[in-house]
């Protein structure tokens, strides 16, 4: 019995063809490109793909569950509200907190690296407000 939920099994991302950079004589140039590309040719861990796309998989599963329980209107309405709230911002010189978007997506209950590191509010160099506003509008 299937409810139409997306699969929870991780999909292997390493079954792609290997692409090495080729030089003018159709031979990989190891001296110019280096050996660091060898890591790109090996397949990753089977759970690596699952962890990279965890948020998208969780959102797809939540939308599928909402669709089965409440109908197609609920995922569409939730996605519409997320699109509307993601476009609402302050002026470019002022940072937007996106509290409404975080509440709709459930990110307000978690603390990630993005919440602590590389925050735009604590930037050392701020742009000129008039220039930033004229560039955006």
Span 46-93, pLDDT tens digits = 777 778 888 888 899 999 999 999 999 999 999 999 999 999 888 877
- In this predicted structure, what is the pLDDT of residue 70? 95
Whether 37 has a pLDDT exceeding 60, the answer reads no
The first and second tokens of residue 131, run together, are 């220039």
Quickly list H helices, 21-128. 30-33, 38-41, 46-52, 54-70, 73-87, 99-105, 113-116
Q: CA-CA distance, 6 to 55, in Å (whole number)?
A: 13
Average confidence score pLDDT of the chain? 79
Whether 38 has a pLDDT exceeding 80, the answer reads no
- Integer CA distances (angstroms), 83 to 52, 58, 100, in order: 22, 18, 11
Q: What is the pLDDT of residues 93-103, one digit of tens each?
A: 788 888 999 99
Angle at 122 between CA 118 and CA 124, to 5 degrees: 95
One-letter-per-residue 3-state SS of 34-56: CHHHHHHHCCCCHHHHHHHCHHH
């Amino acid at each position: 019995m299937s409810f139409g939920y997306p699969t929870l099994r991780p999909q292997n991302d390493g079954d792609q063809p290997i692409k090495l950079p080729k030089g003018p004589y159709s031979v990989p140039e190891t001296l110019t490109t280096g050996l660091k590309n060898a890591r790109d040719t090996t397949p990753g861990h089977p759970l690596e793909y699952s962890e990279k796309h965890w948020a998208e998989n969780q959102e797809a599963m939540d939308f599928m569950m909402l669709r089965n329980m409440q109908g197609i209107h609920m995922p569409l309405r939730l996605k519409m509200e997320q699109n509307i709230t993601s476009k609402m911002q302050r002026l470019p010189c002022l940072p937007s907190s996106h509290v409404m978007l975080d509440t709709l997506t459930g990110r307000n209950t978690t603390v990630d690296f993005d919440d602590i590191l590389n925050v735009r509010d604590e930037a050392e160099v701020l742009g000129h407000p008039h220039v930033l506003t004229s560039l955006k509008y």
